[in-house]
Protein backbone atom coordinates (compact mmCIF):
# COMPACT_ATOMS: atom_id res chain seq x y z
CA UNK A 1 0.00 0.00 0.00
CA UNK A 2 1.60 3.28 -1.10
CA UNK A 3 1.67 6.56 0.77
CA UNK A 4 -0.91 8.19 -1.50
CA UNK A 5 -3.49 5.53 -0.64
CA UNK A 6 -2.61 5.77 3.05
CA UNK A 7 -3.33 9.50 3.07
CA UNK A 8 -6.64 8.85 1.26
CA UNK A 9 -7.83 7.17 4.44
CA UNK A 10 -9.65 9.95 6.25
CA UNK A 11 -9.69 8.00 9.50
CA UNK A 12 -5.95 7.40 9.45
CA UNK A 13 -5.31 11.06 8.60
CA UNK A 14 -7.54 12.13 11.50
CA UNK A 15 -5.73 9.72 13.83
CA UNK A 16 -2.34 10.99 12.60
CA UNK A 17 -3.25 14.65 13.09
CA UNK A 18 -4.83 13.89 16.45
CA UNK A 19 -1.68 12.13 17.57
CA UNK A 20 0.52 15.03 16.46
CA UNK A 21 -1.56 17.38 18.59
CA UNK A 22 -2.02 15.01 21.54
CA UNK A 23 1.64 14.03 21.67
CA UNK A 24 2.66 17.67 21.34
CA UNK A 25 0.68 18.04 24.54
CA UNK A 26 2.59 15.09 26.02
CA UNK A 27 5.88 16.77 25.06
CA UNK A 28 4.88 20.09 26.60
CA UNK A 29 3.66 18.30 29.73
CA UNK A 30 6.90 16.33 30.09
CA UNK A 31 9.05 19.44 29.73
CA UNK A 32 6.93 21.38 32.20
CA UNK A 33 6.52 18.52 34.68
CA UNK A 34 10.18 17.56 35.14
CA UNK A 35 11.51 21.10 35.09
CA UNK A 36 8.86 22.22 37.57
CA UNK A 37 9.66 19.22 39.79
CA UNK A 38 13.34 20.20 39.77
CA UNK A 39 12.49 23.82 40.61
CA UNK A 40 10.10 22.93 43.43
CA UNK A 41 12.28 20.23 45.02
CA UNK A 42 15.85 20.99 43.90
CA UNK A 43 16.37 17.21 44.10
CA UNK A 44 17.18 14.68 41.39
CA UNK A 45 15.74 11.85 43.50
CA UNK A 46 12.37 13.60 43.96
CA UNK A 47 12.30 14.49 40.26
CA UNK A 48 12.89 10.81 39.50
CA UNK A 49 9.98 9.85 41.76
CA UNK A 50 7.68 12.36 40.02
CA UNK A 51 8.72 10.89 36.67
CA UNK A 52 8.12 7.39 38.04
CA UNK A 53 4.59 8.37 39.08
CA UNK A 54 3.83 9.27 35.47
CA UNK A 55 4.63 5.71 34.35
CA UNK A 56 3.46 3.48 37.21
CA UNK A 57 -0.13 3.03 35.93
CA UNK A 58 1.28 1.08 33.00
CA UNK A 59 2.55 -1.50 35.50
CA UNK A 60 -0.60 -1.55 37.59
CA UNK A 61 -3.32 -1.31 34.95
CA UNK A 62 -2.00 -2.44 31.57
CA UNK A 63 -3.44 -5.95 31.73
CA UNK A 64 -6.90 -4.52 32.46
CA UNK A 65 -6.64 -1.77 29.84
CA UNK A 66 -5.70 -4.41 27.28
CA UNK A 67 -8.89 -6.32 28.06
CA UNK A 68 -10.81 -3.06 27.72
CA UNK A 69 -9.30 -2.48 24.26
CA UNK A 70 -10.20 -6.02 23.15
CA UNK A 71 -13.68 -6.00 24.64
CA UNK A 72 -14.85 -2.41 24.29
CA UNK A 73 -15.23 0.34 21.70
CA UNK A 74 -11.67 1.54 21.02
CA UNK A 75 -12.74 4.92 19.70
CA UNK A 76 -14.82 5.60 22.82
CA UNK A 77 -11.89 4.62 25.06
CA UNK A 78 -9.62 7.09 23.24
CA UNK A 79 -12.20 9.89 23.50
CA UNK A 80 -12.69 9.29 27.22
CA UNK A 81 -8.94 9.34 27.85
CA UNK A 82 -8.42 12.63 26.02
CA UNK A 83 -11.37 14.22 27.84
CA UNK A 84 -9.90 13.18 31.19
CA UNK A 85 -6.46 14.55 30.29
CA UNK A 86 -7.96 17.86 29.18
CA UNK A 87 -9.42 18.38 32.66
CA UNK A 88 -6.58 16.92 34.73
CA UNK A 89 -3.83 19.07 33.20
CA UNK A 90 -5.73 22.23 34.13
CA UNK A 91 -5.46 21.29 37.80
CA UNK A 92 -1.75 22.23 37.84
CA UNK A 93 -2.18 25.94 36.98
CA UNK A 94 -5.21 25.95 39.30
CA UNK A 95 -3.08 24.60 42.16
CA UNK A 96 -0.43 27.21 41.36
CA UNK A 97 -3.06 29.97 41.46
CA UNK A 98 -4.25 28.81 44.91
CA UNK A 99 -0.61 28.43 46.09
CA UNK A 100 -0.89 24.75 46.94
CA UNK A 101 1.39 23.37 44.22
CA UNK A 102 4.16 21.05 45.46
CA UNK A 103 6.09 17.97 44.23
CA UNK A 104 3.59 15.59 45.83
CA UNK A 105 0.68 17.18 43.96
CA UNK A 106 2.71 17.07 40.75
CA UNK A 107 3.29 13.34 41.25
CA UNK A 108 -0.40 12.65 41.91
CA UNK A 109 -1.39 14.63 38.83
CA UNK A 110 1.16 12.79 36.69
CA UNK A 111 -0.14 9.45 38.01
CA UNK A 112 -3.76 10.29 37.12
CA UNK A 113 -2.87 11.49 33.63
CA UNK A 114 -0.90 8.31 33.10
CA UNK A 115 -4.01 6.27 33.96
CA UNK A 116 -5.75 7.89 31.00
CA UNK A 117 -2.74 7.19 28.78
CA UNK A 118 -2.73 3.54 29.91
CA UNK A 119 -6.22 3.17 28.43
CA UNK A 120 -5.55 5.34 25.37
CA UNK A 121 -2.41 3.67 24.02
CA UNK A 122 -3.53 0.04 23.50
CA UNK A 123 -6.84 1.26 22.07
CA UNK A 124 -4.97 3.47 19.57
CA UNK A 125 -2.56 0.74 18.48
CA UNK A 126 -5.35 -1.83 18.21
CA UNK A 127 -7.63 0.39 16.12
CA UNK A 128 -5.12 0.78 13.26
CA UNK A 129 -5.98 -2.59 11.61
CA UNK A 130 -9.62 -1.41 11.59
CA UNK A 131 -8.73 1.59 9.40
CA UNK A 132 -5.82 0.22 7.31
CA UNK A 133 -5.55 -3.01 5.24
CA UNK A 134 -2.88 -5.58 6.25
CA UNK A 135 -0.52 -4.64 3.40
CA UNK A 136 -0.40 -1.06 4.64
CA UNK A 137 0.42 -1.68 8.30
CA UNK A 138 4.17 -0.96 8.22
CA UNK A 139 3.71 2.33 6.39
CA UNK A 140 0.70 3.25 8.53
CA UNK A 141 2.68 2.61 11.71
CA UNK A 142 5.58 4.61 10.27
CA UNK A 143 3.15 7.46 9.60
CA UNK A 144 1.75 7.29 13.14
CA UNK A 145 5.35 7.23 14.37
CA UNK A 146 5.96 10.56 12.62
CA UNK A 147 3.20 12.07 14.78
CA UNK A 148 5.45 11.54 17.80
CA UNK A 149 8.35 13.15 15.98
CA UNK A 150 6.39 16.14 14.74
CA UNK A 151 5.09 16.55 18.27
CA UNK A 152 8.68 16.74 19.51
CA UNK A 153 9.18 19.59 17.06
CA UNK A 154 5.96 21.40 17.90
CA UNK A 155 5.99 20.69 21.64
CA UNK A 156 9.42 22.19 22.43
CA UNK A 157 8.75 25.11 20.07
CA UNK A 158 5.48 25.83 21.87
CA UNK A 159 7.16 25.29 25.23
CA UNK A 160 10.00 27.68 24.37
CA UNK A 161 7.60 30.41 23.30
CA UNK A 162 5.38 29.98 26.35
CA UNK A 163 8.36 29.91 28.72
CA UNK A 164 9.44 33.28 27.35
CA UNK A 165 5.96 34.81 27.41
CA UNK A 166 4.17 33.33 30.41
CA UNK A 167 6.60 31.18 32.40
CA UNK A 168 6.58 27.47 33.12
CA UNK A 169 3.17 27.16 34.72
CA UNK A 170 1.12 28.01 31.62
CA UNK A 171 2.75 25.21 29.68
CA UNK A 172 0.03 23.15 31.34
CA UNK A 173 -2.77 25.49 30.27
CA UNK A 174 -1.66 25.10 26.64
CA UNK A 175 -1.31 21.36 27.15
CA UNK A 176 -4.99 21.11 28.08
CA UNK A 177 -5.91 22.76 24.78
CA UNK A 178 -3.80 20.21 22.88
CA UNK A 179 -5.75 17.32 24.40
CA UNK A 180 -9.07 19.03 23.64
CA UNK A 181 -8.12 19.37 19.95
CA UNK A 182 -7.07 15.72 19.86
CA UNK A 183 -10.53 14.81 21.21
CA UNK A 184 -12.18 16.62 18.29
CA UNK A 185 -10.04 14.85 15.68
CA UNK A 186 -10.68 11.40 17.16
CA UNK A 187 -14.39 12.08 16.68
CA UNK A 188 -13.70 12.01 12.91
CA UNK A 189 -12.36 8.42 12.93
CA UNK A 190 -14.74 5.81 11.45
CA UNK A 191 -13.22 2.37 12.10
CA UNK A 192 -14.53 -0.72 10.32
CA UNK A 193 -16.37 -3.35 12.31
CA UNK A 194 -14.00 -5.75 14.04
CA UNK A 195 -13.72 -9.24 12.55
CA UNK A 196 -13.22 -10.83 15.96
CA UNK A 197 -14.35 -9.40 19.27
CA UNK A 198 -13.53 -10.66 22.74
CA UNK A 199 -16.71 -12.13 24.24
CA UNK A 200 -18.22 -9.98 26.95
CA UNK A 201 -19.12 -13.05 29.02
CA UNK A 202 -15.97 -14.05 30.99
CA UNK A 203 -14.49 -11.98 33.74
CA UNK A 204 -11.67 -9.52 33.22
CA UNK A 205 -9.35 -11.81 35.17
CA UNK A 206 -10.15 -14.81 32.99
CA UNK A 207 -9.46 -12.76 29.87
CA UNK A 208 -6.16 -11.56 31.33
CA UNK A 209 -5.22 -15.18 32.04
CA UNK A 210 -6.17 -16.15 28.50
CA UNK A 211 -4.06 -13.33 27.06
CA UNK A 212 -1.04 -14.29 29.17
CA UNK A 213 -1.41 -17.91 28.08
CA UNK A 214 -1.32 -16.80 24.44
CA UNK A 215 1.78 -14.64 24.97
CA UNK A 216 3.73 -17.30 26.90
CA UNK A 217 3.03 -19.79 24.13
CA UNK A 218 4.15 -17.50 21.30
CA UNK A 219 7.81 -17.81 20.26
CA UNK A 220 7.89 -14.32 18.76
CA UNK A 221 5.87 -12.21 21.18
CA UNK A 222 7.36 -13.64 24.41
CA UNK A 223 11.02 -12.85 23.57
CA UNK A 224 9.89 -9.50 22.16
CA UNK A 225 8.36 -8.63 25.54
CA UNK A 226 11.33 -9.90 27.54
CA UNK A 227 14.00 -7.94 25.68
CA UNK A 228 11.74 -4.86 25.57
CA UNK A 229 11.44 -4.96 29.36
CA UNK A 230 15.20 -5.37 29.83
CA UNK A 231 16.02 -2.63 27.33
CA UNK A 232 13.65 -0.13 28.92
CA UNK A 233 15.04 -0.76 32.40
CA UNK A 234 18.39 0.44 31.06
CA UNK A 235 17.33 3.14 28.60
CA UNK A 236 14.19 4.97 29.61
CA UNK A 237 15.03 6.37 33.04
CA UNK A 238 18.21 8.10 31.87
CA UNK A 239 16.40 9.25 28.72
CA UNK A 240 13.57 10.78 30.77
CA UNK A 241 15.22 12.00 33.98
CA UNK A 242 18.81 12.18 32.78
CA UNK A 243 18.21 14.77 30.06
CA UNK A 244 17.02 17.67 32.27
CA UNK A 245 19.62 16.79 34.92
CA UNK A 246 22.42 16.69 32.32
CA UNK A 247 21.35 20.07 30.93
CA UNK A 248 21.00 21.64 34.37
CA UNK A 249 23.90 20.08 36.27
CA UNK A 250 26.52 19.25 33.59
CA UNK A 251 25.92 22.01 31.04
CA UNK A 252 24.64 24.61 33.54
CA UNK A 253 21.82 25.70 31.24
CA UNK A 254 18.08 26.34 31.61
CA UNK A 255 14.69 25.01 30.48
CA UNK A 256 15.08 26.48 26.99
CA UNK A 257 18.15 24.29 26.41
CA UNK A 258 16.21 21.27 27.65
CA UNK A 259 13.50 22.06 25.08
CA UNK A 260 16.21 22.07 22.39
CA UNK A 261 17.20 18.55 23.41
CA UNK A 262 13.59 17.43 22.94
CA UNK A 263 13.70 19.14 19.53
CA UNK A 264 16.83 17.13 18.68
CA UNK A 265 14.99 13.90 19.45
CA UNK A 266 12.42 14.82 16.82
CA UNK A 267 15.01 15.50 14.12
CA UNK A 268 16.71 12.13 14.47
CA UNK A 269 13.44 10.20 14.57
CA UNK A 270 12.04 11.98 11.53
CA UNK A 271 15.15 11.10 9.50
CA UNK A 272 14.88 7.42 10.37
CA UNK A 273 11.09 7.26 9.92
CA UNK A 274 11.42 8.77 6.44
CA UNK A 275 13.82 5.92 5.67
CA UNK A 276 11.34 3.32 6.97
CA UNK A 277 8.47 4.84 5.02
CA UNK A 278 10.41 4.43 1.78
CA UNK A 279 12.53 1.34 2.34
CA UNK A 280 11.28 -0.43 5.49
CA UNK A 281 9.25 -3.11 3.69
CA UNK A 282 12.46 -4.40 2.02
CA UNK A 283 13.79 -5.74 5.34
CA UNK A 284 12.56 -8.20 7.93
CA UNK A 285 10.80 -6.38 10.75
CA UNK A 286 12.49 -8.53 13.41
CA UNK A 287 15.98 -7.65 12.18
CA UNK A 288 15.13 -3.96 12.02
CA UNK A 289 13.90 -4.08 15.61
CA UNK A 290 16.97 -5.84 17.03
CA UNK A 291 19.43 -3.60 15.17
CA UNK A 292 17.49 -0.62 16.48
CA UNK A 293 17.77 -1.92 20.05
CA UNK A 294 21.55 -2.27 19.78
CA UNK A 295 21.91 1.25 18.35
CA UNK A 296 19.43 2.69 20.88
CA UNK A 297 21.84 1.71 23.64
CA UNK A 298 25.33 2.37 22.32
CA UNK A 299 24.47 5.79 20.89
CA UNK A 300 24.03 7.07 24.47
CA UNK A 301 27.68 6.31 25.31
CA UNK A 302 29.14 9.48 23.65
CA UNK A 303 27.29 11.64 26.22
CA UNK A 304 30.02 10.65 28.66
CA UNK A 305 32.36 12.95 26.70
CA UNK A 306 29.98 15.81 25.72
CA UNK A 307 30.77 19.28 27.09
CA UNK A 308 28.44 21.61 25.14
CA UNK A 309 24.77 21.95 24.22
CA UNK A 310 25.64 21.56 20.52
CA UNK A 311 27.50 18.33 21.28
CA UNK A 312 24.56 16.98 23.26
CA UNK A 313 22.12 17.92 20.49
CA UNK A 314 24.21 16.12 17.84
CA UNK A 315 24.49 13.04 20.04
CA UNK A 316 20.73 13.00 20.66
CA UNK A 317 19.98 13.33 16.94
CA UNK A 318 22.14 10.25 16.28
CA UNK A 319 20.67 8.36 19.24
CA UNK A 320 17.06 9.16 18.37
CA UNK A 321 17.55 7.90 14.81
CA UNK A 322 17.47 4.40 16.31
CA UNK A 323 14.12 4.82 18.09
CA UNK A 324 11.80 4.26 15.07
CA UNK A 325 13.79 1.10 14.29
CA UNK A 326 12.32 -0.22 17.56
CA UNK A 327 8.81 1.22 17.68
CA UNK A 328 7.63 0.87 14.07
CA UNK A 329 8.50 -2.82 13.45
CA UNK A 330 7.34 -3.78 16.95
CA UNK A 331 3.82 -2.49 16.27
CA UNK A 332 3.74 -4.02 12.79
CA UNK A 333 4.85 -7.45 14.05
CA UNK A 334 2.08 -7.49 16.64
CA UNK A 335 -0.60 -6.31 14.20
CA UNK A 336 0.44 -8.93 11.62
CA UNK A 337 0.85 -12.07 13.72
CA UNK A 338 -1.46 -11.59 16.73
CA UNK A 339 -5.11 -12.60 16.26
CA UNK A 340 -7.58 -9.72 16.34
CA UNK A 341 -9.13 -10.82 19.63
CA UNK A 342 -5.77 -10.58 21.43
CA UNK A 343 -4.22 -7.40 20.01
CA UNK A 344 -5.40 -5.10 22.78
CA UNK A 345 -3.95 -7.31 25.48
CA UNK A 346 -0.65 -7.80 23.67
CA UNK A 347 -0.28 -4.07 23.05
CA UNK A 348 -1.10 -3.46 26.70
CA UNK A 349 1.65 -5.87 27.73
CA UNK A 350 4.07 -4.07 25.42
CA UNK A 351 2.93 -0.78 26.94
CA UNK A 352 3.61 -2.24 30.37
CA UNK A 353 7.05 -3.39 29.24
CA UNK A 354 7.89 0.06 27.85
CA UNK A 355 6.10 2.48 30.14
CA UNK A 356 6.06 0.33 33.25
CA UNK A 357 9.74 -0.41 33.14
CA UNK A 358 10.26 3.30 32.45
CA UNK A 359 8.67 4.01 35.83
CA UNK A 360 11.07 1.69 37.63
CA UNK A 361 13.99 2.96 35.58
CA UNK A 362 13.11 6.59 36.31
CA UNK A 363 13.07 5.98 40.06
CA UNK A 364 16.38 4.11 39.99
CA UNK A 365 17.94 6.71 37.71
CA UNK A 366 17.17 9.57 40.10
CA UNK A 367 19.20 7.82 42.80
CA UNK A 368 21.98 6.83 40.37
CA UNK A 369 22.30 10.42 39.13
CA UNK A 370 22.87 11.69 42.66
CA UNK A 371 25.40 8.94 43.44
CA UNK A 372 27.41 8.79 40.22
CA UNK A 373 26.53 11.79 38.03
CA UNK A 374 24.88 11.93 34.63
CA UNK A 375 27.95 11.11 32.53
CA UNK A 376 28.63 7.74 34.16
CA UNK A 377 24.94 6.87 34.15
CA UNK A 378 24.77 7.38 30.38
CA UNK A 379 27.92 5.32 29.84
CA UNK A 380 26.64 2.31 31.80
CA UNK A 381 23.07 2.32 30.52
CA UNK A 382 24.22 2.79 26.93
CA UNK A 383 26.32 -0.37 27.07
CA UNK A 384 23.58 -2.27 28.92
CA UNK A 385 20.88 -1.27 26.45
CA UNK A 386 23.03 -2.30 23.50
CA UNK A 387 23.67 -5.68 25.13
CA UNK A 388 19.91 -6.34 25.26
CA UNK A 389 19.77 -6.10 21.47
CA UNK A 390 22.77 -8.40 21.09
CA UNK A 391 21.12 -11.01 23.33
CA UNK A 392 17.91 -10.77 21.30
CA UNK A 393 19.82 -11.27 18.05
CA UNK A 394 21.65 -14.27 19.47
CA UNK A 395 18.83 -16.13 21.23
CA UNK A 396 15.49 -14.96 19.71
CA UNK A 397 15.78 -16.50 16.23
CA UNK A 398 12.02 -16.59 15.54
CA UNK A 399 11.75 -12.89 16.38
CA UNK A 400 14.81 -12.06 14.27
CA UNK A 401 13.35 -13.78 11.20
CA UNK A 402 9.83 -12.30 11.50
CA UNK A 403 8.76 -10.42 8.37
Q: Of all residues in the chain, what percent are helix, strand and coil, respectively (each to 5)?
A: 85, 0, 15
Q: What is the mean pLDDT of the segment spanning 92-102?
A: 87
Question: Which bin fits 373, alpha (ψ -120 to 50), beta or left (φ > 0)?
Answer: left
CATH number of 289's domain: 1.20.1250.20
pTM over 0.95? The answer is no
Residue 391: how many other CB atoms lie within 10 Å: 18
137 pLDDT higher than 80: no
List the domain range (segments joined by +) for residue 98. Answer: 9-190+204-400
Q: Is residue 197 part of a domain?
A: no
Q: Is residue 199 part of a domain?
A: no
The fraction of the chain above a pLDDT of 70, given in percent, is 92
213-224 tens-digit pLDDT: 888 888 999 999
14-35 tens-digit pLDDT: 888 888 888 888 877 877 887 7
> What is each CA distance from 401 to 238, 277, 392, in whole angstroms?
30, 20, 11
- Angle between the 10-41 and 171-186 helix axes, to the nearest 10 degrees? 160
Q: What is the mean pLDDT of the segment spanning 309-323?
A: 92
Q: Is residue 2 part of a domain?
A: no
Burial of 218 per CB tally in 10 Å (0-12, 13-18, 19+): middle
Query: What does the chain come to in residues?
Result: 403
287 pLDDT higher than 60: yes
305 pLDDT higher than 90: yes
Query: What is the rounded average pLDDT for all residues in the chain?
Result: 83
Q: Is residue 315 part of a domain?
A: yes
Q: Is residue 3 part of a domain?
A: no
336 pLDDT higher than 80: yes
Terminus-to-terminus CA distance in the chain, angstroms?
16
Q: What is the mean pLDDT of the segment spanning 146-153?
A: 69
Q: Is residue 1 part of a domain?
A: no
Q: Is residue 165 part of a domain?
A: yes
Number of domains in the chain: 1
Q: Is residue 196 part of a domain?
A: no
Q: Are 78 and 344 in contact (CB under 8 A)?
A: no
Sign of the C-alpha dihedral computed for residues 228, 231, 235 and 241 taken in this order: positive
Return d(Cα 160, Cα 157) in angstroms, integer. Answer: 5
Q: What is the mean pLDDT of the segment spanning 290-297?
A: 92
Q: What Rg, from alpha-carbon coordinates, does the chain have?
A: 20
Amino acid sequence: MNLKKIFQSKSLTALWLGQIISQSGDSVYQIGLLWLALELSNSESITGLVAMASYLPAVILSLFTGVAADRGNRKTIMLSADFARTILVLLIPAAFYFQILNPTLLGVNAFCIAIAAAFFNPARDSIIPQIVPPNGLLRANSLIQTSWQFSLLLGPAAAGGLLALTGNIHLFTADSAFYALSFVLILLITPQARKVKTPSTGTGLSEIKDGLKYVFGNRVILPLLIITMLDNIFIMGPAIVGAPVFVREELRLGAGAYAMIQFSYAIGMLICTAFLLKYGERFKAGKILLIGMILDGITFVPLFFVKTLAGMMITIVIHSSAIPLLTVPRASIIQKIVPEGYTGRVFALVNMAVVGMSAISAGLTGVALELFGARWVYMVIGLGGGLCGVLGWRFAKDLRETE
